[in-house]
Amino acid sequence: MTQIALVTGTSSGMGLQTAVGLAVAGVRVVATMRDLSRAGDLQAAAKAAGVTVDVRSLDVTDPQAAARCVDEVLASYGQIDILVNNAGRGAVGSLEQLSMDDLRAQLDVNYLGVAGLTKLVLPPMRLAGRGRIVTVTSVGGAVGQPFADAYCGAKFAVEGLMQSLAPVVARFGIDVCVVEPGPVASEFVANLAMVGAAEDEPGSAEVDASAPYAEMQRAYLVRSRGVFTGAQTTDAAAAVIIEAATSDNPRFRWQTSAAASAFVGLSLADVDGSRVLAQTSTWINPG
């Protein structure tokens, strides 16, 4: 029986590659994105791979739209076997710089949107006695990082949610996984909301020199540019997401590279927190 996958955030990057890769693997893919005018790259990639995907509109932060999308997919296919929660967005800023709206925006897309969509697919999966829920988090879901307060906070929250959910829904044949990419060469960095920058625009890397955190923030951005210069490719990261979604031997936690595994392991083995802080503190030292 052909499996049906619902994948969010598929207009570019890992989401696009995941949607196409699942289709190549024989899964019927419903690929969603907020803005359907950006579907061209996905459709071109699917055509080049010799597959088709069912492209639909979905803003994961809109609960009514999410419920409508799930209902329509069930009406079309009668089942949802795989959910890939990939849609997400980052923000750069320390807590004092962040507004409450900044914090809520990160929770809306990276935590509440994921929780809401997952909640919607659980009943049909439970009744079917099978299902796979894969949530793309980040190494930032295991390791808190300077100036990623809102982003890491939301990613920590969604990992806690999924780790708590996993043993319960496993009793109904539903596997829950998180995938933790490290730096990936995608549009994610360009879409960052830069708080405390000279111009508060997505992707801005100009730090306001008068800000109290300016020197540390500038050092962090210099380091980040270097890290993302050698970032993992989107197709390599997507291959791990696809494996997590389709493997006959699922596990809860997946990383997309050896470097990501080492970084996540640093935190998971750091009982008193000293090893992580010793490393991340160096990221904000002025050059």
Phi, psi at 41, each rounded to 5°: -65, -40
Report the first-to-last Cα separation within the chain, whole angstroms: 57
Q: Which of 77, 111, 151, 220 is catalytic?
A: 151
> DSSP 3-state assignment of 130?
coil
Q: Both tokens of residue 168?
A: 């319960």
Tell me how crowded residue 104 is: count the other CB atoms within 10 A of its CB. Answer: 13
**Strands, sheet with 174-180, edge to edge from the N-terminal-most edge strand:** 54-57, 28-33, 4-7, 82-85, 131-136, 174-180, 253-255
Residue 263 and residue 257 in contact, taking contact as beta carbons nearer than 8 Å:
no
Pairwise CA distance, residues 220 & 267, whole Å = 19
Tell me whether residue 50 is exposed, middle or buried, using C-beta atoms within 10 angstroms of its C-beta: 0 to 12, 13 to 18, 19 or more: exposed
The one-letter amino acid at 3 = Q
- Identify whether 111 is a catalytic site residue: no
* Residues recognised as catalytic: 151
